[in-house]
Amino acid sequence: MERRILIYPAVAQDGLLAGKVLSSVGLETLVCSGSEAVLSALAEGAGALLLVEEVISGSAILPLKRFVDAQAGWSDLPILVLTKRGADSVEAQRAVEHLGNVTLLERPVRTIALISAAHSALRARDRQYQVRLAEQRKDEFLATLAHELRNPLAPIRTSISIIRRLDPSAEVQKLTDVVDRQVVHLTRLVDDLLDVARITTGKVALNSTHTTLSAVITHALEIAASSVQEKGHQLELVQPSEDFALEADHARIVQSVANLLVNAAKYTPPHGHIALTASVEGKVATFRVRDDGRGLEPGSLTRIFELFAQAKSPDEPLSGLGIGLNLARKFAEMHGGSITATSKGLGQGSEFILTLPVVAGVERPDPSGVSEAQVDGGGRRVLVVDDNRDAVDTLEAFLTMEGFSVAVAYDGAAALEKVQSHAPDVVLMDIGMPRMDGYEAARMIRAAGRPVRLIALTGWGQALDKVKAQQAGFDHHFVKPVDLATIISVLRA
């Protein structure tokens, strides 16, 4: 179906004739009567479209133009337009201007010329399909890579929390802080890689909600704290006394501001100074991140935002992937904002300026946390399910220390048995497991009608994975390594 040639004639008989010619050399064709039939067939798949200029006169070209404009990044549908003899018509000119990958064939067209053009169009389409396949394989590889990297991070993070509880000495705390910072750093690298892949293939959609300027600042500082503290920087914060509402994807904006702070920390020598200044003028919020670090040459002020670009220094090795600033700029632009960089030169520090539209002023919310009365698990029964035994065993130990009654299982089938024998209140379950995966186990638990909360803890973090988890019956979906404070909060709710 994806190699068939759709024929859109002005007269049905002409379409049948063209179809007969192309079919005689083994090409699959489909004659469509009317624009609705054409659009319906295009939605199902096509190798090329053959039409006459009469069918796209006036406003008739608009539905086809909308289809062409909405194509995926890899797709550039070849369109063969049969034109009238003589000077170029208005319709032919508009086809070239609005329909993209157009080849004009003047009538009466020779049979061999029509067949040759059709074969050329299909060869071009086949190359597009190869690009699509390569993108699919790349996406699958990155998703699998992220899954495999996230899985071992989960027991590492849990073990850190256990060690802190067992030995609260300053020396141990210092060492566990180092490990925790590196876990956070590796997690951020994995997330950034996936974000780059999604953006370059047009698969990132903003989840805009009402957030606030202060919430963005607070969360960005939390994310960047380890990078700032690791090099002993002094961080100055200036923000308005009045809070302001933002209509934005909170996670993406937080990530953008955090990336600017992490970048400043990275390119500032130890014990430097970094300032985050937030302000609002009219309908525009501005975040300024200033440092007294390495600085930038004039030629780097725009190049630094390119994918994989890094500022070079003769006395410091390159580090990181060079994608944080590119992501920050992409997310800002998707919100209708911008990011720019300024610097007086090498050794003179830098300033990055992020602007975003503002909704209105709001009262600063009164922060509140989890109730202090909930000091432990209160004996609540929890079943932990994962084929990674280290992940299961460390999480079991941590939750037991928190006062929960914990049972464990190492695959979906064993989880079903434990649900019946132990009647847990909550199930923390991995997705990718042998014998029976988490999706199937969740569906069977729901089918049995047991009143249990299901929480997915998995290395699979794509948007589709979250949808599949919800459809299978999970109440929550968390991507490894999960902040244990978040887990405890959900379990106590």
Residues 19-70 have pLDDT tens digits of: 999 999 999 999 999 999 999 999 999 999 999 999 999 888 999 999 999 9
Give 360-389 pLDDT, tens digit per residue: 545 444 444 433 334 456 678 999 999 999
pTM > 0.75: no
* Mean pLDDT for the stretch of residues 88-100: 90
One-letter amino acid at 169 equals: S
Alpha-helical (H) ranges within 201-307 are 213-230, 250-266, 300-303
Residues 167-206 pLDDT 10s: 888 888 888 888 887 787 778 777 777 777 666 666 666 7
pLDDT at 86: 76
Can you list the alpha helix ranges (DSSP code H) found in 304-405? 324-334, 389-401
Distance, CA of 409 to CA of 428 (rounded, Å): 10
Return the closest-CA partner of residue 399 out of 433, 428, 432, 369. 428
Q: What is the pLDDT of residue 374?
A: 42
d(CA 438, CA 80): 49
CATH architecture of 5-109: 3-Layer(aba) Sandwich (3.40)
Superfamily of domain 209-362: Histidine kinase-like ATPase, C-terminal domain (3.30.565.10)
Q: Check residue 375 and give its pLDDT.
A: 45
Same fold, 209-362 and 381-492: no
% of residues, the chain, pLDDT over 90: 53
DSSP code per residue over 9-76: -SSHHHHHHHHHHHHTTT--EEE--SHHHHHHHHHH--SEEEEEGGGGSGGGGHHHHHHHHT--TT--
Domain boundaries, the chain: 5-109, 134-200, 209-362, 381-492
With 80 as the cut, is the pLDDT of residue 418 above it? Answer: yes
Reading the block at residue 382, the tokens are: 């929890």
Q: What angle do CA 428, 430, 433 make, to 5 degrees?
A: 140
> Mean pLDDT across the stretch 315-340?
77
For the domain spanning 381-492, the CATH number is 3.40.50.2300
194 close to 149: Cβ distance less than 8 angstroms: no
Residue 355 has pLDDT above 90, yes or no: yes
DSSP per position, 401-465: HTT-EEEEESSHHHHHHHHHHH--SEEEE-SS-SSS-HHHHHHHHHHTT---EEEEEES--SHHH
